[in-house]
């Protein structure tokens, strides 16, 4: 998969997270109380990280405002340390960082 396709995929999963928030609720308690909500969003976060990893050096060169390595690392925590997932951290990522990540990825796509 090329860089452009991976960035489009990241945008798609960011939009999926936003759709989940609209569907399940925009309150952290909604998220903490609903395993289906957690699983759906965790899958999206995992896929975002999965698509960042192969192009992390290119992304670092295009935008230093985003902590690409931290996002990729979140994927590892979800995938390999399922019992140690910090749901509060995932919520913050979903609600505060995903909108920024999506816009930056859209900007990168316009420049490609």
Which of 6, 23, 75, 110 is flagged as catalytic? Answer: 75
| Polymer length in residues for the chain | 112
SS (H, E, C) 70-105: HHHHHHHHHHHCHHHCCHHHHHHHHHHHHHHHHHHH
Select from 37, 22, 12, 15 the least CA-distant residue to 90: 37
User: Catalytic residue at 75?
Assistant: yes
Active site residues: 75
């Amino acid at each position: 998969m090329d860089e452009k396709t991976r960035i489009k995929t990241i945008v798609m999963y960011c939009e999926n997270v936003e759709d989940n928030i609209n569907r399940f609720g925009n309150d952290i308690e909604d998220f903490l109380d609903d395993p289906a909500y957690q699983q759906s969003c965790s899958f999206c976060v995992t896929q975002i990280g999965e698509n960042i990893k192969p192009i992390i050096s290119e992304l670092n060169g295009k935008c230093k405002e985003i902590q690409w390595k931290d996002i990729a690392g979140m994927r590892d925590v979800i995938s390999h340390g399922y019992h140690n997932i910090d749901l509060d951290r995932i919520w913050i990522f979903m609600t505060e960082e995903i909108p920024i990540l999506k816009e930056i990825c859209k900007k990168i796509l316009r420049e490609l």
